[in-house]
Amino acid sequence: MNLPINLSRRDVLVTAGVGLAAAASPLFAQSSVGSSTGGIFLPDSIGGTPLTPEGVRQKAFAMPLHAPAYAQPPSAFLDRPSLTISYRTDLDLVRALVPEPLVVKDPIVSLSFLSMVAPGIGDYYEFAQSISCFLGDEAVSFRPLMVAENVTAIMLGREVWGLPKKFGHPRVGQNNESYIGTLEYDGAVVARASMAYKSRKVDLAEATKAMRVPGVVLKIIPDVDGKTPRIAELVRFEYSTVDLKEAWTGAASLDLFNHEAVPIAALPIREIVSVRHTLGNYLLEPGKVVHDYLKRT
């Protein structure tokens, strides 16, 4: 699947949004019902056909069964601006956050402030904390914590990939000569980043290579007892499409503030190593389980 990047931004939103919404549930029939339902598409599971166990197995991918909370992947992100600042921290602290079999060699932490335009999800802001590490010989980026202000994005990310998203208020955007990223959680500022706006261009091939580094998350789904995990897996994911339009760097600053619910300041800044502002289109594919912590060997 490729993004229709040759279309206008509005056309892309309409085209991709309709396609994703129509694919959101296999339960919806292809005809509308003009009755007291108001003419909505009526799920066949409500239309009188008994829902058998086999029917559940065939139709289920998200809840509610008859009206899933989100569309099936892949997920597109269009004209997405971002501000990412990477810094070196303490190796022992990072190793306490990164689960084996991932290996940390150089304790580089990246904080990304993102503005998402996502058909089927909506427009929203997101924040991601990443740690550079290795899965075998492959360089990957482990994400211990993310924050978004869109409930659909949080449910989709947590349930499908295992992205560790919490609800908060990230922001990113231009303010005069600066590009600013902020993260607020429960009314408190947790992170604040700034860089000189479009100061120096970065080679697009180099920036694209960095964006193609796979991500890894620790997906945990509790069992019905609320105490033990039903799922505990390392999930690898990546973008199948990275269409960068712009990439910039420049002078930058980063401040972190202690917060017990979003403890990103627990990894102190020892040295800022890179700064990047990008704009591009991305297509995020379903993930792959690379390690199962509950599997008995």
By three-state DSSP, how is residue 36 classified?
A: coil
**Angle, alpha carbons 180-237-118 (nearest 5°):** 50
Which one of the listed residues 105, 165, 201, 219 is annotated catalytic? 165
Verify whether residue 201 is a known catalytic residue: no
Contact 280/248 with Cβ under 8 angstroms?
Answer: no
Concatenating the DSSP letter of every residue in 230-258 gives EEEEEEEE-EEEEEEEEEEE--EEEEE--
In sequence order, the β-bridge partners of residue 147 are: 127, 166
Q: How far is CA 78 from the centre of its chain?
A: 13
Counting Cα atoms < 13 Å in the Cβ hemisphere of 262 gives 24
Rounded CA separation 37/194 (Å)? 50
Active site residues: 165
